[in-house]
Copies of this chain bind each other. A is one copy, B any other.
Amino acid sequence: MARSVLGPEIERLIQLLAKLPGLGPRSARRAALALIKKKDQLLVPLAGAMSLAAERVKVCSVCGNIDTVDPCAICSDPERDARTLIVVEDVSDLWALERAGAMKARYHVLGGTLSPLDGVGPDDLTIDALVRRCASGEVSEVILAVNATVDGQATAHVITDRLTATPVKVSRLAHGVPVGGELDYLDEGTLAAALRARTPF
């Protein structure tokens, strides 16, 4: 009874908004109402931006970044040091490191961390692709910028083992990263300092 007055279009909008990280049922209702009230300034432009993103955004076949071109702008940027790969768990970590702006290198997005309890094994991540990139001779250093969590560090160990057969030097972020912390929540100065002071792994 309670919701039936909303009409199916508004109900569906609220239900979908509630699936966004950071929005619960109550904030989804507020967001829906704000969208409807600002139809021309917000609802219509956001619907358009979403359609455009859905149409154009793709995953980079080289590094796993998301962009509207493949290879992504980072992979095809000649100004960047192609011999250094920064390995991250997720695109959000890549964005965080880019905001820090400390190093003009390239990236490799793992797509997560190894997590036996959640059923995430090596084949669910892009570790094989990373090993291939490193074995090609085009890469001389890999910087492991994974989260300082148990799963992140276990993943770093597995990757380091796999990379011993390649000519690359493996380092990791300096211990400026708080233990148990996630990269995406760190301030940019801490990220930049941790990159500069990276230690051999």
Contacts and interface: CB of A to CB of B under 8 A. Distances in A.
A132 to B, nearest CB: 23
Nearest to A92: B33
- For this chain, the copies found in one complex come to 2
Contacts of A5: 65, 67, 72-74, 95, 98
Interface in A83-109: 90-92, 95, 98-99, 101
Nearest to A66: B36
B22 A53 contact: no
A1 B97 CA distance: 12
Interface residues of A, number: 61
Contact of A53 (B19, B36, B90): B36
A136 interface: no
A68 B27 contact: no
17 contacts: A1-B101, A2-B101, A5-B73, A6-B67, A7-B69, A10-B53, A10-B57, A13-B46, A16-B42, A16-B49, A19-B42, A20-B42, A21-B27, A32-B53, A36-B66, A43-B53, A47-B51
Given A21-B31, A43-B50, 18 more contacts: A2-B99, A5-B65, A5-B73, A5-B74, A6-B67, A10-B53, A13-B46, A13-B50, A16-B46, A17-B46, A19-B38, A22-B22, A22-B31, A29-B95, A30-B184, A43-B54, A44-B50, A50-B50
